[in-house]
Amino acid sequence: MKTVNHWIGGKPAEGVSGNYGPVYNPATGAQGTQVALASVEEVDAAVAAAKDAYRTWGTSSLATRTAILFKFRELVAAHRDEIAELITAEHGKVHADALGEVARGLEVIELACALPLQLKGELSTQVSTRVDVAAIRQSLGVVAGITPFNFPSMVPMWMFPIAIACGNTFVLKPSEKVPSAAYRLGALAAEAGLPDGVLNIVNGDKVAVDRLLEHPDIAAVSFVGSTPIARHIHTTATANGKRVQALGGAKNHMLVLPDADLELAADAAINAAYGSAGERCMAVSVVVAVGDTGDPLIEKITARAGALTIGPGDDPASEMGPLITKAHRDKVASYVTGAAAQGAEVVLDGTGFTVEGYEDGHWIGVSLLDKVTPDMDAYRDEIFGPVLCVVRAETYEDAIELINSSRWGNGTAIFTRDGGAARRFQLEVEAGMVGVNVPIPVPVGYHSFGGWKESLFGDHHIYGNDGVHFYTRGKVVTTRWPDPADGGINLGFPSNH
């Protein structure tokens, strides 16, 4: 059986804890891989390697860093199909979706290649007689990233390229459910010339996570995952004196006004709700149909959903793959049956779906729930699966009140032809990312990703300018070079003249 080990100090590190976790192929339900789970001592070894590497990497030139990152970018692009195959084998998403994930990660590597522009600093000359003031940004030291199962390559690439471009060294703890893509990125970074210890990868479970959160040599922690874990990460790491950006869960709403192009809106709802089997923190899980849009919109969504092809991710004909684990499949299914018991209308029920020849896979079909109300579990909880809820609202004001009452504020979208309504929505809605006729408004690499309310714990969003600020700290230097002609003693208070 294949074993995925750690990457420490620039080379593979065989697990020595004796603990291993199973890695399944979600399409078959079979275990083909095991992953070494790190002990406290192995995490400490990774942090020690990063700390040692920081002594030289932290003072390396920007030219050195960017040259390596350019090479890394080319290697990731050249191996994108291989990385996508690893993602499909362990996560289950279709190959095209996995390729898209790699492409979005490459955007952030490209941003990191241009990071000298963001690290220029500022200078004010002659603020007083022969006094200059410079504001500069410097790296933090050793930083860590803890990443989720649903984007095995993209989310790590949201973190470590910017961190190392800023001069930090990095310890990555990917999800133990999908370890191979992150491990491959570590090997490609080494091939690009990244010095030993600058990027380290430790696989593990709660033992590894808790050690990273408390380790005295870790300066900052980045996290993407569910809201309860994000809250724990933020609380624990900040209590140990660390800077934290912890991105949590979501319940993303898509508001459809009566003037919207319903064909476009239906296409968008399908793509955003059922893409990647709904295992996205930016998936649309609630459509808010305003006025009389509900019935015709549901009709169009139903017709499109019935035509979707669900199957193994490595089959080019598949448009949606399985869920990550059997337990998660069963949990998602329970929301559909629970919604029916609570009074929702089940328009489409995907709970009994399977794929011929792959009966042991973690399959579920697409589900569509109508007449959902805010007191139902299917509305209140993050389902993280291919379940789309439709809520009816009489007016725009009712819809915006519904959305803003949510405890989450990750992303949202409005579909309309009215520019004034769209502008009002983007100013009034309480969410960190807003789409106007765009269902999944994930920002490009040079704008930052992050939500509001219980979708974010910490002060910085991820990548973009916020990412640069998170992985650096400011310093202000005031300099006075006296003129050789100056002299004498003056005991008076310095003045700004």
The whole-angstrom separation of Cα 227 and Cα 238 is 16
Secondary structure element (H or E) that encloses residue 201, with its range: strand 199-201
- Asked if residues 287 and 297 have their Cβ atoms less than 8 Å apart, the reply is yes
Q: What angle do CA 263, 103, 436 make, to 5 degrees?
A: 35
Strand partners, 122: 135
CA dihedral sign, ordered 366, 364, 387, 100 = negative
The whole-angstrom separation of Cα 135 and Cα 476 is 4
The whole-angstrom separation of Cα 382 and Cα 251 is 6
Residues with a known catalytic role = 281
Parallel, antiparallel or unpaired: strands 131-139 and 122-128: antiparallel
* DSSP string covering 387-401: EEEEEEESSHHHHHH
Within the chain, how many helices (H) and strands (E) appear? 15, 23
Q: Hey, what are 242's tokens?
A: 């660390």
The whole-angstrom separation of Cα 183 and Cα 12 is 9
Question: What are the CA-CA distances from residue 157 to residues 101, 212, 219, 323, 348 (Å)?
Answer: 10, 19, 19, 23, 36
- Asked if residues 386 and 92 have their Cβ atoms less than 8 Å apart, the reply is no
Read off the DSSP letter of residue 354.
Answer: -
- Asked if residues 8 and 171 have their Cβ atoms less than 8 Å apart, the reply is no
- Asked if residues 168 and 471 have their Cβ atoms less than 8 Å apart, the reply is yes
Question: What are the CA-CA distances from residue 22 to residues 2, 3, 43, 201, 299 (Å)?
Answer: 10, 10, 20, 18, 42
Residue 217 CB coordination number (10 Å) = 14
The whole-angstrom separation of Cα 201 and Cα 190 is 12
Distance, C-alpha 155 to centroid of its chain? 5
